[in-house]
Amino acid sequence: MSRRPLHTSSPPAASLRARLDRARVAAADANTDALLIAPGSDLRYLIGQAGGSFERLTTLVVQAGDAPARLVVPKLETPGYAGVPTGELGIEVVPWVDGDDPYRLVADCLGTPGRVAVSDTMAALHVLALRAALAGAEQTLAGPVLRELRMRKDATEIAALRRAAEAIDRVHARMGEWLRAGRTEAEVGTDIAAAIVEEGHTQADFVIVGSGPNGASPHHDVSDRVIEQGDVVVVDIGGPIAEGYNSDSTRTYSIGQPRERDVIESYAVLQRAQHAAVEAACPGATAQEVDAAARDIIAAAGLGEFFIHRTGHGIGLDVHEEPYIVGGNDLPLEPGIAFSVEPGIYQPGRWGARIEDIVVVTSDGAESLNTRPHELVVLDS
């Protein structure tokens, strides 16, 4: 089973080679003998291909030091890696066939390591089998090692995030074509999903159309609820572009003037909170300070209990990745770190609102990659 989009593009071999070298150094810095990378975004980051196998082990073995990286992969899956410049990357491909013990192959690459770090997303069946094959090694997570690389985006990655943001902005700009009273959330969602692809994504990853009371559930999907005049509607949408980088943007719409009397005043608070969080983001500010900038404003308006999630999340090859913009995260921001700023106010049983832009930290502040207006968008019906 493969979740690879049909058309993808990957960075030049020189960038991938530099990433692999940095991964080796990061592993050494973390006193880790080897990183064992499973298919997914970590693998795509390092070799330009996400791969995809489940019960058969595929893993990229990246050792601290100069040993060549090795891709242990089922022989039948090797065509999927044909586009990977293994020669230029110095990657040795180690194919195995059904009946072989792939865990033994990994162990043979490594000798007697003291500590190995496995991908956060590696399936438990592989983690436990590797534990048995490398009985003397402590297992840790590779996520904290790789986040040091992945959360600092280079110019090419930021350019890709910008293209993704522009594509999702074009979808929001067209919302009036689909979002009207008398249609169900699911009908509107189907049209939005098609537009996400039309405007330049390889697929629509998620489409949230939370109308009326459904807007109070931040991760609502779509439902058969018929949208009514006076509804406030939270539309949170995104997906990857060919380079694998994701969009994720929320705007809140009203079908005619909002029916609930407290919407306008609360929405103004939300707008100020979102703006304050973006203003707070700059090199040296911590992730939790950005969260607090939004939260303090909402709390001061007496609405703190209705803002029920963190202010944002990092974004890149994954929609949700490090760093998380949340209380307790004292990570200092640096130029090139990209994340969402998405405070929300959720009134159970009545309505919800959220404003979400992706921002990237610059040398002296943060730039919003999404540029649609932040006002409550009143659609005539």
Say how far apart CA 273 and CA 344 lie, in whole Å.
9
- Minimum distance of Zn ion from residue 75's CB (angstroms): 39
Residues 17/212, Cβ–Cβ less than 8 Å: no
Residues 216/348, Cβ–Cβ less than 8 Å: yes
Minimum CB distance to Zn ion smaller for 120 or for 221: 221
Minimum CB distance to Zn ion smaller for 11 or for 314: 314
Tokens matching residue 106: 């990994």
Minimum CB distance to Zn ion smaller for 59 or for 246: 246
Stretch that binds Zn ion, among 130-138, 156-164, 193-201, 355-363 (CB under 5 A): 355-363
- Minimum distance of Zn ion from residue 198's CB (angstroms): 20
- Minimum distance of Zn ion from residue 342's CB (angstroms): 5
Residues 219-248 that bind Zn ion (CB under 5 A): 236, 248
Residues 251/237, Cβ–Cβ less than 8 Å: no
For residue 97, with 0-12 CB atoms within 10 Å meaning exposed, 13-18 middle and 19 or more buried, which class applies? Answer: exposed
Residues 6+ away with beta carbon under 8 Å from 372: 169, 172, 173, 249, 251
Angle between helices 155-173 and 185-198 (to 10 degrees): 140
Residues 243-282 that bind Zn ion (CB under 5 A): 248, 250
Minimum CB distance to Zn ion smaller for 63 or for 311: 311
Minimum CB distance to Zn ion smaller for 58 or for 246: 246
Tokens matching residue 177: 């074509």
Minimum CB distance to Zn ion smaller for 77 or for 356: 356
Print the binding letters for residues 287-326 with Zn ion: x by CB under 5 A, - otherwise.
Answer: ----------------------------------------
Minimum CB distance to Zn ion smaller for 27 or for 207: 207
Residues 253/377, Cβ–Cβ less than 8 Å: yes
- Minimum distance of Zn ion from residue 265's CB (angstroms): 24
Helices marked H in 199-284: 263-280
Minimum CB distance to Zn ion smaller for 115 or for 320: 320
Stretch that binds Zn ion, among 77-85, 113-121, 259-267, 349-357 (CB under 5 A): 349-357
- Minimum distance of Zn ion from residue 135's CB (angstroms): 39
The answer to whether residue 340 forms part of the interface with Zn ion (CB under 5 A) is yes
Q: For residue 374, which of 266, 288, 251, 291 has the smallest C-alpha distance?
A: 251
Q: For residue 193, which of 208, 214, 180 has the smallest C-alpha distance?
A: 208
Minimum CB distance to Zn ion smaller for 70 or for 313: 313
Q: What are phi and psi of 152, to 5 degrees?
A: -95, 100
Say how far apart CA 38 and CA 276 lie, in whole Å.
39
DSSP letter (8 states) at residue 100: B
- Minimum distance of Zn ion from residue 210's CB (angstroms): 11
Tokens matching residue 5: 């989009």
Task: Give me the torsion for CA of 132, 135, 137, 142, rounded to 10°.
Answer: 0
Tell me, rounded to whole angstroms, the distance of Cα 275 from its chain centroid: 22
Q: For residue 107, which of 126, 130, 90 has the smallest C-alpha distance?
A: 130
Size of the site for Zn ion (CB under 5 A): 5
Residues 6+ away with beta carbon under 8 Å from 106: 36, 57, 59, 61, 72, 130, 133, 134
- Minimum distance of Zn ion from residue 236's CB (angstroms): 4
Stretch that binds Zn ion, among 58-66, 74-82, 350-358, 365-373 (CB under 5 A): 350-358
- Minimum distance of Zn ion from residue 357's CB (angstroms): 10
- Minimum distance of Zn ion from residue 329's CB (angstroms): 16
Minimum CB distance to Zn ion smaller for 105 or for 315: 315
- Minimum distance of Zn ion from residue 247's CB (angstroms): 9
Stretch that binds Zn ion, among 226-234, 265-273, 291-299, 333-341 (CB under 5 A): 333-341
| Positions in the binding site for Zn ion (CB under 5 A) | 236, 248, 250, 340, 356
